[in-house]
């Protein structure tokens, strides 16, 4: 029987800590402000943005919302980012992805000032992470580290295997585990014998975007399994990249979907917003 890592409870604890800190800052006249930009009407993005604004409200962070039509030009979007970069009363800028087809996502993300890049996607922040300097860290992998730490799971010296090499999750995840002194292996679609590698993991982080891909045959007895995936199945239920029913009996700890990594992403976004106005 695995311990179930409760991301909902842990994210709430993180948000409550942030709320206490923002209240303290408010008494000194300091407020964090996040500008959220959504281009187009992608329904999933609309839900994400709504949840981000709700979390801001809960945490005592001011949010400004920019909802632009799908046919907004890249130039107009860059102008808005430039204006927000210059505004002293805006501390964080988030452009919800994906952007409508035809927009150059890299160009748009690169236009956000690294000092306001609360998503941690700007090359400057990615570079800082890779050399162990302070900067904004991508929220989902940062959330995974919090889940492990707050569940008293030791990372130092452990075999950590990350499945997936995306810029948003896999790569920063590997950097963060390395920073915590894990021995890190990154697997991807060209990995020759995936099972052989994942079975070595004491801590297995899965972010491949394939529903229920990882079953018990990929997992060492007693491993900690973190599932970053989220998919809606035909019956309307949510599932992750891990086949939970198969893996749970062999793991020592596991994140459920929903209620595992998901809630941590927004909690860490709030953390990044708070750190945009204070040091610790
Ligand atoms: N779309 C899906 N995940 C994310 C995220 O973490 N940040 C942004 N900006 N867009 C996303």
CA distances from 20 to 12, 54, 61, 139 (A): 12, 17, 11, 20
What average pLDDT does the chain have? 97
Per the structure, the complete domain to which residue 112 belongs is given by 29-116
H-helix or E-strand spanning residue 126: helix 123-130
C-beta 94 within 6 A of ligand 1: yes
Number of domains in the chain: 2
* Ligand 1 atom closest to 119 (CA): 7
Nearest CA among 88, 108, 96 for reference residue 52: 96
Q: What value does the mean pLDDT take over residues 210-228?
A: 98
Whether residue 148 is found in the same domain as residue 208:
yes
Distance between CA 160 and CA 129 in Å, rounded?
18
Whether residue 66 is found in the same domain as residue 161:
no
Whether residue 84 is found in the same domain as residue 149:
no
Q: What value does the mean pLDDT take over residues 63-70?
A: 98
Given a contact cutoff of 8 angstroms between Cβ atoms, the answer to whether 68 and 37 are in contact is: yes
Calculate what percentage of the chain has a pLDDT beyond 70.
100
Kindly report, residue by residue over 126-145, the tens digit of the pLDDT: 999 999 999 999 999 999 99
Given a contact cutoff of 8 angstroms between Cβ atoms, the answer to whether 19 and 60 are in contact is: yes
Specify the pLDDT at position 280.
Answer: 65
Specify the pLDDT at position 164.
Answer: 98
Q: What value does the mean pLDDT take over residues 25-33?
A: 97
Q: What is the domain-level CATH number for residue 101?
A: 3.40.50.10860
Nearest CA to ligand 1 atom 3: 97
Distance between CA 105 and CA 101 in Å, rounded?
9
End-to-end distance of the chain based on CA atoms, in angstroms? 37
Check whether 263 has a pLDDT greater than 90: yes
To the question of pTM greater than 0.95 for the whole model, the response is yes
Distance between CA 278 and CA 18 in Å, rounded?
11
Q: What is the domain-level CATH number for residue 186?
A: 3.40.50.720
Residue 67: band (very low, low, confident or very high) from pLDDT cuts 50, 70, 90: very high
Whether residue 165 is found in the same domain as residue 232:
yes
Specify the pLDDT at position 1.
Answer: 84
Whether residue 108 is found in the same domain as residue 159:
no
Distance between CA 182 and CA 187 in Å, rounded?
15
Check whether 103 has a pLDDT greater than 70: yes
C-beta 119 within 6 A of ligand 1: yes
Calculate what percentage of the chain has a pLDDT beyond 90.
99
């Amino acid at each position: 029987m695995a311990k179930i890592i409760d991301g909902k409870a842990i994210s709430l604890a993180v948000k409550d800590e942030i709320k206490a800190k923002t209240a303290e800052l408010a008494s000194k006249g300091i407020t964090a402000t996040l500008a959220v930009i959504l281009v187009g009407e992608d329904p999933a993005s609309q839900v994400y943005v709504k949840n981000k604004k709700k979390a801001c409200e809960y945490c005592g962070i001011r949010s400004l919302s920019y909802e632009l039509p799908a046919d907004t030009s890249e130039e107009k979007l860059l102008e808005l980012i430039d204006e927000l970069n210059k505004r002293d009363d805006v501390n964080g800028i988030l452009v919800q992805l994906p952007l409508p087809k035809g927009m150059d996502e890299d160009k748009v993300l690169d236009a956000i000032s690294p000092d306001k890049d609360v998503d941690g996607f700007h090359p400057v922040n990615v570079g800082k992470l890779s050399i162990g300097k302070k900067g904004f860290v991508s929220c989902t992998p940062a959330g995974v580290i919090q889940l492990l730490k707050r569940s008293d799971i030791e990372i130092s010296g452990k075999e950590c295997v990350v499945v997936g090499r995306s810029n948003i999750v896999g790569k920063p995840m590997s950097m963060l585990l390395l920073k915590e002194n894990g021995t890190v292996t990154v697997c991807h679609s060209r990995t020759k014998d995936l099972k052989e590698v994942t079975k070595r993991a004491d801590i297995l982080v899965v972010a491949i975007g394939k529903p229920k891909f990882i079953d018990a045959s990929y997992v060492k007895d007693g491993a900690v399994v973190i599932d970053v995936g989220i998919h809606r199945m035909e019956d309307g239920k949510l599932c992750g990249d891990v086949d939970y029913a198969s893996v749970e009996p062999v793991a020592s700890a596991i994140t459920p979907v929903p209620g595992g990594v998901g809630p941590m992403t927004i909690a860490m976004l709030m953390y990044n917003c708070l750190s945009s106005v204070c040091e610790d």
